[in-house]
Chain A
Amino acid sequence: MTDQPEQHPVTGLDDVVHQRVRLGILTVAHQARRVEFGFLRTALGLTAGNLSQHLSVLEKAGLVEIEKGYEGKRARTWLSLTPAGDRALRDEVTQLKRLIHQIEHGSSAPES
């Protein structure tokens, strides 16, 4: 029986999720459950174009659901996390915590 070498936490980071703006979008959507485009733009300090680009990356990856509609005459865009998005955010946070533990203690932390 051979011992499998333990994977470094860095290999568990997903490039789609790890990008800081997208990580911010997922965090806000996780806490809010449903968040409007304008709120996200203000909370993250982004331009509309920049935010849209990141949202389409997340939508293509199946991590968020985007819903467009009207309230009165005002167009509104709402987004919410998909179950895959929720899982991806949790995994990312777990990997970050493992990474911190590895840096500070020199070994991997438990999964949670």
Chain B
Amino acid sequence: MPSSGTPREVLTGLGDLTRKVRAAQRGTWFPLLLLGMLTLGGILVGRFTFKVETVACPAGGGAVGSGCTLVTQGSAVYWPLGLALAYAATAFFYIRRSRNRGVGTRVRPYVLTGIVLVALASATAMWSLRHGMPQLGEPLDFWGLYLDPASGVTRFLERLAGNAMAVGLPLLVLAWVERSRALLLLAVVYLAVELVPLSTGWSGIPFTSPWSALPAFGVPGVLLLLGALGFGLAELSGRRDAS
């Protein structure tokens, strides 16, 4: 309740009330849990779609005669479908929670971001299905943009168009919707993990292993699950203090 004292005390009381409402609106742990599970699921998808082939080496490189090793893994359906389900479940969770707690939540920006990202992920998946895998040594034709697969810019764009966009962008939107600095910090750390070109050699898993996707999905997946745990515990302790 705002104080009936000085104008400054009244404004401070309004600030406290606003914080109380925000705390009741937050449910950060749930989308983090879903996105973390979706990311870790990518390890299993990588494992079961793993394919290693020996193909002819591109002209001017590789050992001609013995051939080059081509490793493919990943599913064109997993991310679009997984994201669509995660967004539908998150929207349902927030709407239901809003009804139970008696306080509205601005879930629309988050769901709209989800719809746009699912559309983008589906378009990329359709493009991959139509064009197939690029031949070794050939430029990568991405929607008319001819990129050198070996260049640093292409690799950065690949990382940006992957999980950084599919998971990092919704986290930023959620941090804005929930006015949460802690979530903003987590989103920045997550984006750093996804975008910084760290070598996965530290894990000791060679790229020819069926589990080679483990470091790429394991680190951000565990980060998201730890975030879910942290936000869940913070929410629980906040509710205990309030009651």
Contacts and interface: CB of A to CB of B under 8 A. Distances in A.
B146 to A, nearest CB: 47
Interface residues of B, number: 26
Interface string A16-41: 00001101100110011111111110
Contacts of A93: 11, 14
Contact of B1 (A33, A37, A45): A45
A6 B14 CA distance: 27
Chain A residues touching B, range: 20 to 34
Interface string B1-38: 11110111011011001101110110000000000000
A71 B4 contact: no
A20 B11 contact: no
11 contacts: A20-B1, A23-B2, A24-B13, A24-B14, A27-B17, A31-B17, A31-B22, A32-B105, A33-B104, A96-B11, A100-B7
Interface of A: 20-21, 23-24, 27-28, 31-40, 43-45, 71, 76, 78, 80, 93, 96-97, 99-100, 103
Interface of B: 1-4, 6-8, 10-11, 13-14, 17-18, 20-22, 24-25, 98-99, 101-106
